Structure 1
Amino acid sequence: MEVSASVRDNFIHIVNDIFPNLTTEDPLYNVIALSSILVVSAVIYIIARLLVRPQIASWVYKSNNLWDNALQQHGFFRRLMHLFPALFIYLTTPVLISDEAVMHGMVIKSAQLYMLYSGLLALYAMLSTVEDVYNASALAKRAPITGFIQVTKLAFAIVTILLSISLIVDRSPLLIVSGLTAIAAVLLLIFRDTILGFVAGIQIAANRMFNTGDWIAMPKYEVDGEILEIGLTNVKVQNWDKTISTLPTYSLTTEAVKNWRGMQESGGRRIKRAIYIDVHSIKLCDNDMLERFSKIRYINEYIDKKKNELRAYHRDYSIDESDLLNSRRLTNIGTFRAYLEAYLRKHPDINQELTLMVRQLPPNELGLPLEIYCFSAQKEWVRYEKVQADIFDHVMAMLDLFDLRAYQRDGHLSLLAHREQSAYRNSPESDNAPEDAQEKSEPNR
């Protein structure tokens, strides 16, 4: 108190040297005092910004810690500088300005609000720093905390608003909170998405359902891409066409979502595609075909094994191999299926520890589907598509070696018509056709 009285007396003495006979009850004195407080507070802020802040920044950049760099990046120290002039105004106003003056309460409340919101912004910077440090750690892969950080910011913002209102109206914050119960239904309606997002964020974090970087697909919203951010109310997803989709956070727990994280963490990415074989090209293998197939290195052992198996069967049941009705013979489609499976077993980009098979699906109007089901060891999109394309390039090219044809709509009809026309031209009857036509035309002459 003695220091405050001394400062006030000195200030009055200085003012009286400029304005004689000026007392503390005069309105001009309060204006001069307030102007002096504001000028000195501005000088303090300029000094803090030009001298203290650069020194803090140099210390930050020299350190090896990441958290202080994040504080500097989010403007924590810059926002903290605003507390110094606000604190100066709050402390010097009661000293220089009388409590009975009208502007006394206004200046004090303004200084308190200034400190309150400066502290809130500094606290926001600290929370953002915590989020960045967490996202840079290994724990970020297990559960995101962006939603919780936003909830914390929202809670501090609500507390700050309540404290601001209580300062302005000079009422207890508890009294203001008790008055809010009358409009609770309206608040629930206003913060509906916020509440649903907060609950969804808890479910997502507790069950580790989604995380930033996960590849998700939601056909309802035409979303297919990676999660950029899981916030309190919204989720940002970057689609593969580089567009950004924004979804409500609670939609991740209430809608059907496919998360490809399991594929990314597994040993391979599934290849499941079928080619349709023209059923007219499926036939039994003769000796010439088997001799040709036995030269293919992937199935030469398979052909020899099957030949021995069929000989033993025919011998055991006394069946002549020339008996087409009772003998067993290989088919070109079955041999081709065995070849594809052996080919995939030797493929370097196919994971051999996961499911691998070549199977037939039920025939339909498009032919006989021959499906390849395996897992590519290359999970990155471009490499995966290249592996898949290379496999089916080879499959389509090998069809002709096994006397098979892929179905193409109306393609088999044109092929049959071409064969019938060729057979007709090569038949002896076609040579007599002009003579017969000439004989039939003579009676009409």
Structure 2
Amino acid sequence: MKIFNWAYKILKSWDFSDNVADYINLAVNIVVLVIIAYIIDYIFKKILIILMAIVAERTKSTFDDFLVANKTAKYVAHLFTLFFVYKTVPIILKEFTYWEGFFTKGVKFYIILLSLWIIRSIFHSLKDYLKEKPNFKDKPIDSYIQVIMIALWIYGIVYFILLLFDMEFKALLTAFGAISALIILIFRDTILGFVASIQVTVNDMVRIGDWITMEKYGADGDVVEINLATVKVQNFDNTITTIPTYFLISDSFKNWRGMLNSDGRRLKRSILLKSSSIRFLNEEEIENLKKIELLTAYLNKRQSDIDLYNKNHNIDKSLLINGRNLTNFGVFRKYIDRYIANHPGINKEMLFMCRQLQPTQNGMPLEIYAFVNDKRLVEYEHIMADIFDHILASVRYFEMEINETGAIKIEY
């Protein structure tokens, strides 16, 4: 502190009144303090930045690399400068009580703000580091960090108020209680987002990378970011849809994670056949259908059982409707069952079937329900198209017709 006393003695030797000399001394001391603080800040900033860069280069972990990228060393260097100023201000302003209190509070404010900034920088580095880890890629790290930072900012604001007005904590709580309704009104969205973010995280409703569909908001794509206020979805047309986090627990949405984690992607598609084309098969037609390899064994066994039943019950087969019979629709359905069972793109360990649905005014729906091995969209579509190309081309071999005016319903 000799430099400040030296400046004061020089000013006292000049022919000024005591008050003027004191204020000039104050101004000189502040200028000198600012210069010294700048030099200290510059030196420590250079030292810490260089030191951290050397450490980051020599370590295998990338966490310190992110600390460098987020300028953590620069913010920490400012703390050394502020500590020097905080200790020096009471000495150079000991004759100016008002200004000493003013500058001391200002330094304390800055220390609190800088401390929060340093913590934020460290958390951002931690976020970038964890997102490189496979176990944390799908976790809403942004939400966790935002929750912690909001708590720290609230603590910082409370400390600001206590320091600014020289209040006690109890008095501040009383004041907050009086204006709590206004606070809730102002921070309604933040509070709802905070609660929703916790529920989404705890219940594991959505992860980064999940494919979700929310028709109400036009979202159909992968979740790329989850934070306290919003969830960002990159749609398959590369547009971005932003959904308030709260709406994920108040509205309905579809998460496709279960399908992606399963052993197959569901294929559920129906075709409409003309009801008028459904009829019984005669013996000649059955013999022709036996030439289809997937049906040969089935038709031999089935026809044998039907003939035995009709013979034992003395059925008059002059009319096909009498007794038990095969229909072209039933045989076609069995053919599709066999075809799906032999298709390499279908997962045989999961449910698969060909079923008849409720008749409609447009015709008789025949639905294929199965799970495709390859869940990738392009490959899945190719396998499904291949299956239905074959089915549509097979219809004419069973003397049936597609109802082209009826709608074909597709579900995934």
Q: Could you tell me how far 1:263 is from its partner in structure 2?
A: 1.2
Instruction: Indicate the residue corresponding to 1:349 in structure 2.
Output: 345
How many matched pairs?
A: 403
Match of 1:395? 391
What is the match of residue 70 of structure 2? 74
Residues 349, 387 of structure 1: 8 Å contact kept:
yes
Alignment of 1:171 with 2:167, yes or no, is yes
1:167 positional shift: 2.7
Q: In the TM superposition, what is the alpha-carbon distance from 1:101 to its structure 2 partner?
A: 5.3
Q: Aligned-pair distance for 1:294?
A: 1.7
Aligned to 2:279: 283
Question: What SS is found at the alignment partner of 1:407?
Answer: coil
Structure 1, gaps ≥5 residues long = 1-6, 411-445
Taking structure 2 as the reference length, the TM-score comes to 0.89
Check whether the contact 2:7–2:28 (CA below 8 A) recurs between aligned residues: no
User: Could you tell me which residue of structure 2 aligns to residue 266 of structure 1?
Assistant: 262
Q: Is 2:358 aligned against 1:362? A: yes
In structure 1, which of residues 370, 383, 386 is the aligned counterpart of residue 382 of structure 2? 386
Say if 1:241 and 1:99 are closer, same or farther in 2 by CA, change over 3 A.
farther
Q: How far did 1:136 drift? A: 4.4
Distance 2:137 2:205 in 1: 11
Match of 2:110 in 1: 114
The more displaced of 332-341 and 233-242 is 233-242
SS of the aligned residue for 2:368 comes to: strand
Whole-Å Cα distance in 1 between the matches of residues 106 and 227 of structure 2?
Answer: 33
Deviations 1:398-433 (A, max 9, x none): 1122222110239xxxxxxxxxxxxxxxxxxxxxxx
Q: 2:266, 2:369 within 8 Å by CA — same for their partners in 1? A: yes
SS, match of residue 312 in structure 1:
helix
Distance 2:334 2:363 in 1: 19
Distance 1:139 1:210 in 2: 15
Show CA shifts across 1:204-255 (max 9, x none). 2222222222222222223222222222222222222222222222221121
8 A contact 1:99–1:105 mirrored in 2: no
Classify 1:160/1:99 alpha carbon distance in 2 versus 1 (closer, same or farther; 3 Å): farther
Alignment of 1:16-27 (within 5 A): 16=9, 20-21=13-14, 26-27=22-23
Aligned equivalent of 2:124, options 121, 128, 145: 128
Report which stretch shifted further, 211-220 or 10-19: 10-19
Give the AA of the match of 1:77. A
The answer (yes or no) to whether the contact 2:357–2:366 under 8 Å persists in 1 is yes
Q: Which runs of 5+ in 2 are unaligned?
A: 407-412
- Range that drifts further, 131-140 or 171-180: 131-140
Aligned to 2:409: none
Are residues 1:200 and 2:193 paired? no
Residues 378-404 of structure 1, C-alpha deviation per residue, up to 9 Å, x if partnerless?
222222222212211111111122222
How far did 1:173 drift?
4.5
User: Do the aligned partners of 1:143 and 1:208 also contact (CA within 8 Å) in 2?
Assistant: no
Q: Is the 8 A contact 2:93 2:100 kept in 1?
A: yes
1:120-269 matches, cutoff 5 A:
120-137=116-133, 140=136, 144-269=140-265
Q: Distance in 2 between matches of 1:379 and 1:99?
A: 78
In 2, distance between residues paired with 1:289 and 1:372? Answer: 25
Q: Secondary structure at the match of 2:269?
A: strand
CA offsets 1:146-190 (integer angstroms, 9 cap, x no match):
333212111211221222233333334543333221101101112
Aligned 8 A contact 1:142 1:208 in 2: no
Aligned pairs (5 A) from 1:7-86? 7-8=1-2, 10-13=3-6, 16=9, 20-21=13-14, 26-86=22-82
| CA displacement 1:292-329 (0-9 Å, x = unmatched) | 32222222211222222222223322346554342433
SS at match of 2:293: coil
Amino acid at match of 2:282: D
Instruction: Give the distance between the partners of 2:122 and 2:233, measured in 1 at CA.
Output: 26
Which has the larger Rg? 1
Q: If the length of structure 1 is used for normalisation, what is the TM-score? A: 0.83
Q: Corresponding residue for 2:372?
A: 376
SS in 2 for 1:309: helix
SS of equivalent residue, structure 1 residue 298: helix
2:280, 2:321 within 8 Å by CA — same for their partners in 1?
A: no
Q: CA deviation at 1:20?
A: 4.3
Pair 174,129 (structure 1): closer, same or farther in 2 beyond 3 Å = farther
Is 1:328 equivalent to 2:324 in the alignment? yes
Q: Which amino acid in 1 is paired with 2:392?
A: M
Amino acid at match of 1:60: A
Q: CA deviation at 1:371?
A: 0.5
Identical-residue share of aligned pairs (%)? 34
RMSD of aligned alpha carbons = 2.5
- Select the structure with the greater relative contact order (CA < 8 A; seq sep ≥ 6): 2
Cα 1:48–1:156 change in 2 (3 A) is same
